[in-house]
Amino acid sequence: MKKRKVLVVEDDKGIRRGIVDALGFQGYDTFEADNGHDGLNKAIKVGCDLILLDLVLPGRDGLDILREVRTARPRMPVIILTARGAESDRIEGLRLGADDYVVKPFSVDELLARVEAVLRRSPERPSDVSEVRIPCGVADFGRCEILYDDGERAKLSEREMELLRYLACSPGRVISREEILSRVWRVDPKRIETRTIDMHIARLREKLRDDSDSPVVIRTVRGKGYVFEASEGPG
């Protein structure tokens, strides 16, 4: 069985060594970085399966690295390591696309459990759909944009693209907000308001030219969630 590779970006030598040793004991291959510049370079270039990312780093901070990773490697699982009390940083990390977070000080068992959980669900994010036809044009996931039939274009954010891709992979099926948070945001639905989904759906409808009062692409099913109902499925 192929070993999973984990990049540990942590400037505290003792914590980093403890994490690396624990991961190695569980059969993971590890890479290390003790500063933001080296961490970002390895996050972009090293072929790892998951990143454990401290938020407070010399050189470049963790949130800055997370932004860069989400642009260059949008489906890379990332767990942020954060100090107790830094709630605003945790929330910002989740908004930027972190898959989970662990608060210091943490136990080895908790960290390993979160690593295993994130790696288990990371393959569930749809990645094989290149485009989907919508009434007003085509959503091109490779280019992160919508090409309208009239020749105009609109850029999709990484989150909008992943949300549309996930819905489009299950046309006709009602998908709950909780499932979207779990599979697209990849966080525990109890940790973030489901209103976040509604706001992203509203912005996505604007770019899909989907009438919010009478949508035909992404329809709201009251009390249950959303369903993708474009005339043609994913390409």
Would 20 be classed as within a structural domain?
yes
- Whole-angstrom Cα Rg for the chain: 19
With vertex at residue 221, the alpha carbon angle to CA 216 and CA 224, rounded to the nearest 5 degrees, is 150
115 phi and psi angles, rounded to 5 deg: -60, -45
Amino acid at 178: E
Boundary of a domain, candidates 99, 124, 149: 124
Q: Do 102 and 152 sit in the same domain of this protein?
A: no
Q: What sign for the dihedral angle of Cα 134, 207, 171, 122?
A: positive
Domains of the chain: total: 2
Would 233 be classed as within a structural domain?
no
Q: What sign for the dihedral angle of Cα 81, 71, 120, 178?
A: positive
Mean pLDDT by 10 residues, the chain (235 residues): 86 95 95 94 86 93 88 82 75 82 91 90 58 90 90 90 86 87 73 80 95 92 88 50
Would 71 be classed as within a structural domain?
yes
Boundary of a domain, candidates 124, 145, 171: 124
What's the pLDDT tens digit per position in 140-192?
987 889 999 999 999 998 888 889 988 888 888 898 888 888 777 767 677 66
Q: Do 165 and 117 sit in the same domain of this protein?
A: no
Q: Do 76 and 141 sit in the same domain of this protein?
A: no
| pTM of the predicted structure, to 2 decimals | 0.56
Boundary of a domain, candidates 100, 124, 148: 124
